[in-house]
Amino acid sequence: MKQIQIHDDFIKLGQALKLAGLVESGVDAKFVIQDGLVKVNGEKEYQRGKKLHPGDIFSFEGQDVQIS
């Protein structure tokens, strides 16, 4: 499982997808999230601005990423 480290209390889902290298732009993140292709902690997430905190796990295209 890949991990990304944040220095604030949270990171938004769209930003996390970009930081993890799973999408190339915010526009790409917007579309994959709107299409229900991203899961956060095992549940489909449709909000690009969903706040992720350390310990949260999101997945896209078979790749799991943990926020630390």
Strands (E) in 1-68, as ranges, are 2-4, 11-12, 38-40, 43-44, 51-52, 57-60, 63-67
**Which pLDDT band, with edges at 50, 70 and 90, does 6 fall under?**
very high
Of the candidate CATH numbers 3.40.50.11540, 3.10.290.10, 3.50.50.60, 3.30.70.360, the domain formed by 2-67 belongs to 3.10.290.10
Residue ranges per domain, the chain? 2-67
pLDDT for the residue 7: 93
CB of 11 within 8 A of CB of 55? no
pTM of the model: 0.91
Q: Three-state DSSP class for 13? A: helix
pLDDT tens per residue, range 8-66: 999 999 999 999 999 999 999 999 999 999 999 999 999 999 999 999 999 999 999 99
Q: What is the CA radius of gyration of the chain?
A: 10
